[in-house]
Amino acid sequence: MSRILLAKLGGDAESFRLDDAPVPAPGPGDLLVALEAAPINPADFLLSNGWYAVQPELPFAMGAEGVGRVIAAGSAADQALVGRRVLVLPTYEQGTWADRIVVPARNVVTVGEAADALQLAMLGVNPATAHHLLNRYVSLKPGDWIGLTLANSAVGQNVIALARRAGVRTLAVVRREEAAEHVRRLGADAVIVDDGENLGDKVAQALDGAKLRLLLDGIGGADVVAQVAPSIETGGAFVTFSSVTGQPPLMPLGELVYREISVHGIFVINWVWNAPREEIEQVYAELSELVEKGVLGASVEATYSLGQYREAIAHAQRPERSGKVLFTFGQAGQAGQAGTPR
């Protein structure tokens, strides 16, 4: 088997190495899975730099999530899983940037045969995050408005798709025109390119008297929050899911106190770690069906083989990518051509 290990803390290709080892036999409760595809996510670089909730013990097997097929089951595991396609859940107990992995059976759920492998490989993190962002904090009904920054990210694309399906209107904030075009095509109802000038006025103007029930922010810092917060309805909610500025989001005191806007953070991995198994299976079954129907998904920019990990890692960290970068794996990876822009 081949896999990518984090050899030392850092985000450049030199921090990682390709490791070849004999294929391990699954323990009693384990499954041996042949991976089809696994994405490279921004959080992988938070982890590789030592800035993530999970501190890597070196050498660390990289890759949070992926999709593959069970090729062997341990003596105590369900033998009926052999041959089934499974999503490897983002528990960080196994690394998915690998052509074969041994994984505890509790860390997989079965997924549909018909869906695109690349989209299924990305199901564990971003669609689940979008699902929780829309369902956990306020109750939304058709016609309500929500706002989101980082709207062209994979999280944002999934939020727009799920909101649209529920009849909820989205005000999408991006930082460049190409990204604006992208989210318009996905069905965002109002799109703002934030050039650092008068964001608050632009948001208020786009809403034309309406207010946001929920604001989902991936930028952090004081600026964007202060500008958009006045457009959140009194008693509405603000959720931070990321901070590309590295700054904590700063909600103005008056918005917190006089207008009782509630402030939340989300870390979807807490849900993966702690939710009852039944709930995990139900949520991923629903999301997998939506991927299969083409309702949910995120743009893909390129796929690479493990041998091309240096290029893949550099590509995944390019600013202004138009989509995700994933690893695909030999025979099982029929999802895309290695190194191919898509």
Footprint of ligand NAP on this chain (CB under 6 A)?
A: 41-43, 125-126, 129, 150, 152-155, 175-176, 179, 218-219, 241-242, 244, 266-268, 319-320, 324
**Minimum gap (Å) between residue 268 Cβ and ligand NAP:** 4
**Minimum gap (Å) between residue 50 Cβ and ligand NAP:** 15
**Minimum gap (Å) between residue 129 Cβ and ligand NAP:** 4
Say how far apart CA 197 and CA 201 lie, in whole Å. 9
Say how far apart CA 285 and CA 45 lie, in whole Å. 28
Q: Specify the residue, 77 or 179, whose C-beta has the smaller distance to ligand NAP.
A: 179
Query: What is the enclosing helix (H) or strand (E) of 19?
Result: strand 16-20
Write out the two tokens for 121: 């490989």
**Minimum gap (Å) between residue 183 Cβ and ligand NAP:** 10
Q: Specify the residue, 131 or 213, whose C-beta has the smaller distance to ligand NAP.
A: 131
Write out the two tokens for 306: 């493990």
**Minimum gap (Å) between residue 164 Cβ and ligand NAP:** 17
Best CA proximity match to 18, nearest among 320, 331, 310: 310
* CA-CA-CA-CA torsion sign (51, 123, 126, 334): positive
Say how far apart CA 191 and CA 159 lie, in whole Å. 14
What angle is formed at CA 135 by the lines to CA 134 and CA 139, rounded to 5 degrees? 100
**Minimum gap (Å) between residue 223 Cβ and ligand NAP:** 11
**Minimum gap (Å) between residue 337 Cβ and ligand NAP:** 21
- Other beta carbons less than 10 A from residue 226's beta carbon: 16
Q: Specify the residue, 43 or 62, whose C-beta has the smaller distance to ligand NAP.
A: 43
Say how far apart CA 154 and CA 146 lie, in whole Å. 17
Q: Specify the residue, 94 or 153, whose C-beta has the smaller distance to ligand NAP.
A: 153
Q: Specify the residue, 259 or 264, whose C-beta has the smaller distance to ligand NAP.
A: 264
- Other beta carbons less than 10 A from residue 7's beta carbon: 15
Write out the two tokens for 13: 């290709």
Name the DSSP class of 15.
G
**Minimum gap (Å) between residue 128 Cβ and ligand NAP:** 8
* CA-CA-CA-CA torsion sign (220, 225, 231, 233): positive
Write out the two tokens for 226: 């202060």
Q: Specify the residue, 142 or 319, whose C-beta has the smaller distance to ligand NAP.
A: 319
Give, in order, the Cα–Cα distances in Å from 279 to each of 209, 262, 296, 324: 38, 26, 19, 27
Q: Specify the residue, 2 or 299, whose C-beta has the smaller distance to ligand NAP.
A: 299
Tokens 């991976």 belong to which residue? 35
Q: Specify the residue, 73 or 151, whose C-beta has the smaller distance to ligand NAP.
A: 151
